[in-house]
Structure 1
Amino acid sequence: MAHRIITINRMYGSGGRLLGKALAEELGIHFYDQELIRLASEANDIPYEELLKVDEKKASQWRLPIKDQMQMQPQYHFHPMNDVLFETQSKIIQDLAQKEDCIIVGRCANYLLRGKCLSLFVYAPYEYRVQKVMERLGREDRSARAMIRKTDKSRKAYYEFFTDEKWNDPENYNFCVDTSQFSKEFLVKLLAQIYREWTPEDESI
């Protein structure tokens, strides 16, 4: 039987990560977000802190992604650390799909596991997200708005660079959820029921 994977892409401040974590707890399955960075760090023997700097970010053509001797090592010349991390995480994601039911946040997982996952895009109106970021992080209004714009732009550029598809195109997802319209508890119960009744297209995983 194929393993059942949920992938989540999310607008910053929409609560996509929190929803995914709560859903994983409800279903009793693993939740992978920054854990993927740790696994990539172990696979490549690259410090976690260096990979964290480039996680879900497209490489810049104007500068190296990290100011560190790590990027200057021969095996990484002309190969930005962003690309090293994406390639490693891609293999980890595909390996996880072979081994277990789980929830994976970001990292183009819906693209990598197309037809083999239940893909979710989590969004919310801009002003709603501003308020949530202010509440959760204690940011002032201006700072919250800047964080949202910067993070959304970065995630969009990353996804579209590595997939050549639109990050927020509904056609790339099974479900698009506006978290401003429903409580987290309701969405967890709804998505859990959908998950339990869903069967992946590709039974060969």
Structure 2
Amino acid sequence: MRPFKLASVLLALLLLSFAAQARKPYVEIERRLTPQQLQEVGLSEEQLAKLNRMLRDADADASEGAAPGVAAAAPAEAEADDAGPQVGAGAPRERSPGAGQFIGLNDEPIKSRLKHDVAGWEPGTVFELENGQQWKVLKGRMSLKKPIPKPEIVVVPGVAGRWFLQVDEDMPKARVYRID
């Protein structure tokens, strides 16, 4: 019987160590990523704080045995109601109901015209808009048969602070981040 008791005690200690590891304190995203990685993601300070808060709450819910995201949904809705006018892309706007539940989805597209012709793009290409903004290509590659002279463009928001530059709706979009 003794080996069985020893094995039971060792198994119990092993399970306790896993439980202790699961309750490690939350480490903020700023400490997990390099400054360059944070810039590539393109989150504002407000979005970054909100994401940290949501992840910390989800960790707490998971350690308490609640379903992840269930308790975090109510505070997100309350924040959306309390937040009032939001600023994004340089112009204030009202938040729609439910906005703020999904980071990045409450941003509006930015419409402008490029200051230069476009013959294509690849990672590292910089687009200068007439509104003064500068956007750099992070992902995506396109080579056009002939340059498009100073086209109208739309910078479209995606999930989690991602942005996509659209020269023409029939062309692939370039994933970009703002550098100005």
Do they superpose with TM above 0.5?
A: no
Higher relative contact order (CA 8 A, sep 6+): 1
- Higher-strand-fraction structure: 2
Instruction: Please identify which structure carries the higher helix content.
Output: 1
TM-score (norm 1): 0.25
Q: TM-score, normalised by structure 2?
A: 0.27
